[in-house]
Every structure is written in structure tokens, then in C-alpha cells.
């Protein structure tokens, strides 16, 4: 018996009790099948007032426009630079996202990852007054650590760009690149002048955005291991949470409810690329998921 208190940033209550009960019950599951997947934006780190990946692309866009103002005249870029969400909505999120992704067309995976890490090293959250890397949720880091101590494999299944998250997942969460599933950008295989093979980013998305049912199918095709714990915060995570609990083994679906306007934000989690038929908190209540109240269940919100 150890005197180490698990999940110290989780306040006593139903959510913490449910987690500890699941962790104890999971001992009956063979270690090879102890698998947990976490959404990233809004589940592992702060996603408001804008996604971190969007801020990364906007930073790159502003630098390009400073060098060549004509770049900013493109409709998609003019819309996001103006901050006019109505204009962005008229163009469509998918079109704007592809335009931004094309800013790094031709980059090797290594060069793109270096750009992401350089941005993260200096980026500051727009309203919280802290480095962006310090907007990771401490209670979720503790949960990830506790899962690993109990023999779990932990991965990230995100609607964000796979390569963007891979560039930071090891440092922030201890999750290696091969355990990150996200929205994929296609690569072209080329050879340099000496004949050596080179991969270069394109402006094309490979498959669908990684939300909703795509999360489940991409887990199978890219990882091949089904979770018994899944955590998310929006309807884009619904199918992944349902899949984790559709088993006779101990399982848990965990939904983070952003209800803390004082320490973070208060809002209803929504998917960007899906049409919702039911608020995700109502889905959670109906299906018996564990809902984590940021305001009530977390003693500490951020990791630093």
C-alpha cells in the first residue's frame, strides 16, 4: 500500500470516485487491452478563444503578409485576418482551413515540426496571461500519469492536424508521435538533387476531418487498438466515447464540461465540422457517461 494520493488536483466527489473505481476495475483487463484515448482541444488543453493550431497558422500568415501584403488579399486570408467570423462562415471553415494549411506546402515533416515548436516556445494565450504551453490541464495530466502507472497505453485522437499535435505531444503529455491520430495532410514523395527520398507537405487533406465517426475508424486503421477509456469535450468525440464503452469489460467515457468562467471559460462543447442533434452534455447524461465539471471537480485547472 502506498501513501501517494492519486489525482491530487481532482476534488473529492463523484467524478473522482468514478475514475478511481474504473482504475481499480481495469486491473482485471489484460495489460495489452488497457488503452485510453484523449481528445486534445478542450480536453487536454485550452481551446478558447481560438484553437492553438489556428493561432499558429495566423502567426505564420501575418509573417507572410508582412513580407508580401498581396498575400493578405486572398479571400480566405482576408477573412481570418479581419477576425470577422461571419465572413469566415460564408467561406466555410473547410475552405479556410485548407488555405491556411497550404502556407506550409512543400515543407518536410521535420521542417514543419520545427516551425510548430518554435511557435510554442514563445506563444502566449490571448486572454489568460500565460504561455500557451501552460494552458494544459493539470488534472488531465495527472489522469494520464495514473493510467500509465497502471499499465495503460495512452494516445491522442484529435480533430486537429496530426503533424501539429505530434510536434508537441511528447513534450506536453508524454505521448509519442505514433500514438497521435488527427486530421491528415497528404504528403508527396520526391527525390532531392542527390537522389535521396524526401517527403513534402501538400495542401490536400487525406480523408475526412477527424471528428465524429472518423475518430473511431481512424483509431482502427491507424492504431488498431480499441480504448476502454475515452475522454472528450464535444459532439465530435461522441462516437469515440460510445465505442469505448460498448464492451463487457470495465470501461469509462469521460466528458469535460467547460463551466468555469472564472478560471477558464464557460461554454458548450461543439464540433466544428458536424451538425449536432443534441447537446453533448445531454448525450452524456442519457448514456451514463462521467461528466467532469471544471468548476466543481478540479482544484487546479492549469499545469504551470
Give the neighbor-by-neighbor strand order of the sheet with 153-161. 197-206, 180-191, 153-161, 35-38, 229-232, 252-257, 290-293
Q: Does residue 202 belong to any structural domain of this protein?
A: yes
Total domains present in the chain? 1
Q: pLDDT tens digits, residue range 208-227?
A: 999 999 999 999 999 999 99
Q: Does residue 302 belong to any structural domain of this protein?
A: no
pTM over 0.85: yes
Average pLDDT score over residue span 276-296: 94
Question: Which whole-number Å values give the CA distances from 104 to 25, 67, 134, 200, 300, in the listed order?
Answer: 46, 16, 26, 9, 37
Q: Does residue 94 belong to any structural domain of this protein?
A: no
Predicted local confidence at residue 287, as pLDDT: 96
Q: Does residue 9 belong to any structural domain of this protein?
A: no
Q: Does residue 89 belong to any structural domain of this protein?
A: no
**CATH code (residue 291):** 3.40.50.1000
Of the chain, the percentage scoring pLDDT greater than 70 comes to 99
Q: pLDDT tens digits, residue range 46-90?
A: 999 999 999 999 999 999 999 999 999 999 999 999 988 888 888
Q: pLDDT tens digits, residue range 170-199?
A: 999 999 999 999 999 999 999 999 999 999
Predicted local confidence at residue 3, as pLDDT: 53
d(CA 18, CA 185): 38
Q: pLDDT tens digits, residue range 244-285?
A: 999 999 999 999 999 999 999 999 887 777 777 789 999 999
Q: Does residue 64 belong to any structural domain of this protein?
A: no
Q: Does residue 272 belong to any structural domain of this protein?
A: yes
Predicted local confidence at residue 277, as pLDDT: 78
Q: Does residue 160 belong to any structural domain of this protein?
A: yes
Secondary structure (H, E, C), the chain: CCCCCCCCCECCCHHHHHHHHHHHHHHHCCHHHCEEEECCECCCECCCCCCHHHHHHHHHHHHHHHHCHHHHHCHHHHHHHHCCHHHHHHHCHHHHHHHHHHHHCCCCHHHHHHHHHHHHHHCECCCCCCEHHHHEEHHHHHHHHHHHHCCCEEEEEEEEEHHHHHHHHHHHHCCCHHHEEEEEEEEEEEECCCCCEEEEEEEEEECCCCCCHHHHHHHHHHCCCCCCEEEECCHHHHHHHHHHHCCCCCCEEEEEECECCCCCCECCCCCCCCCCCCCHHHHHHHHCCEEEEHHHHECCCECC
Predicted local confidence at residue 1, as pLDDT: 41
Range of the domain at 170: 14-48+125-297
Amino acid at each position: 500500500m502506498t501513501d501517494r494520493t492519486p489525482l491530487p488536483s481532482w476534488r473529492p466527489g463523484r467524478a473522482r470516485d468514478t475514475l478511481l473505481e474504473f482504475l481499480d476495475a481495469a486491473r482485471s483487463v489484460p495489460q495489452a487491452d488497457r488503452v485510453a484515448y484523449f481528445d486534445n482541444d478542450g480536453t487536454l488543453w485550452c481551446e478558447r478563444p481560438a484553437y492553438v493550431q489556428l493561432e499558429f497558422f495566423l502567426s505564420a500568415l501575418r509573417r507572410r503578409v508582412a513580407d508580401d501584403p498581396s498575400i493578405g488579399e486572398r479571400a480566405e486570408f482576408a477573412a481570418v485576418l479581419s477576425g470577422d467570423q461571419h465572413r469566415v462562415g460564408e467561406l466555410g471553415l473547410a475552405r479556410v482551413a485548407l488555405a491556411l494549411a497550404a502556407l506550409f506546402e512543400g515543407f518536410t515533416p521535420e521542417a514543419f515540426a520545427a516551425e510548430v515548436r518554435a511557435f510554442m516556445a514563445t506563444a502566449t494565450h490571448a486572454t489568460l496571461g500565460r504561455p500557451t504551453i501552460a494552458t494544459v490541464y493539470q488534472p488531465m495530466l495527472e489522469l494520464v500519469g495514473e493510467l500509465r502507472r497502471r499499465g495503460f497505453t495512452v494516445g491522442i485522437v484529435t480533430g486537429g492536424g496530426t503533424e501539429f499535435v505530434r510536434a508537441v505531444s511528447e513534450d506536453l503529455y508524454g505521448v509519442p508521435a505514433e500514438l497521435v491520430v488527427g486530421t491528415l495532410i497528404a504528403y508527396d514523395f520526391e527525390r532531392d538533387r542527390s537522389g535521396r527520398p524526401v517527403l513534402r507537405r501538400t495542401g490536400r487533406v487525406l480523408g475526412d476531418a477527424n471528428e465524429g465517426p472518423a475518430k473511431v475508424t481512424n483509431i482502427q486503421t491507424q492504431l488498431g487498438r480499441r480504448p476502454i477509456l475515452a475522454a472528450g469535450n464535444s459532439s465530435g468525440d461522441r462516437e469515440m466515447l460510445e465505442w469505448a464503452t460498448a464492451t463487457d469489460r470495465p470501461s469509462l467515457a469521460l466528458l469535460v464540461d467547460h463551466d468555469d468562467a472564472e478560471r477558464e471559460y464557460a461554454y458548450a462543447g461543439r464540433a466544428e465540422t458536424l451538425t449536432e442533434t443534441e447537446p453533448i452534455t445531454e448525450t452524456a447524461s442519457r448514456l451514463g457517461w462521467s461528466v467532469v465539471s471544471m468548476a466543481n471537480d478540479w482544484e487546479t485547472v492549469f499545469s504551470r
